[in-house]
């Protein structure tokens, strides 16, 4: 590839990347919801119930951040909350499996 071709390719990637990040919220939220469903379908104990409830709370907050987002930071907050929810759900799943 020529030098100009490489520069044009990099410029195109830099232009497309932010658009892809903008649609990341729903994907991460969906992943967290799927993990919560998986945790709920397992053996729910007192310990795991608290984790699942916290995961649900975090997903609800992530959805609110995404729906009311006005800046990139708002979308970043939505993704962060969804990832935290996924972590709580994964912990519940781990505790369910001996």
- Alpha-carbon gap, residue 22 to 78, rounded angstroms: 11
pTM of the complete model: 0.75
Write out the two tokens for 4: 């100009």
- Alpha-carbon gap, residue 47 to 64, rounded angstroms: 27
pLDDT of residue 69: 87
pLDDT of residue 19: 46
Asked if residue 68 lies in contact with residue 15, where contact means CB atoms within 8 angstroms, the answer is: no
> Which of the pair, 87 or 65, is modelled with greater confidence?
87
- Per-residue pLDDT reduced to its tens digit, 31-74: 999 999 999 999 999 989 999 999 999 999 999 989 988 888 88
């Amino acid at each position: 590839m020529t030098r100009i071709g490489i520069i044009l390719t990099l410029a195109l990637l830099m232009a497309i990347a932010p658009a892809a990040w903008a649609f990341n919220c729903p994907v991460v939220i969906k992943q967290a919801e799927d993990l919560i469903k998986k945790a709920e379908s397992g053996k729910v104990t007192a310990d795991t119930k608290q984790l699942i409830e916290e995961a649900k709370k975090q997903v609800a907050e992530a959805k609110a951040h995404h729906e009311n987002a006005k800046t990139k930071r708002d979308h970043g907050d939505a993704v962060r909350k969804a990832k935290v929810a996924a972590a709580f759900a994964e912990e519940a799943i781990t505790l369910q499996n001996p």
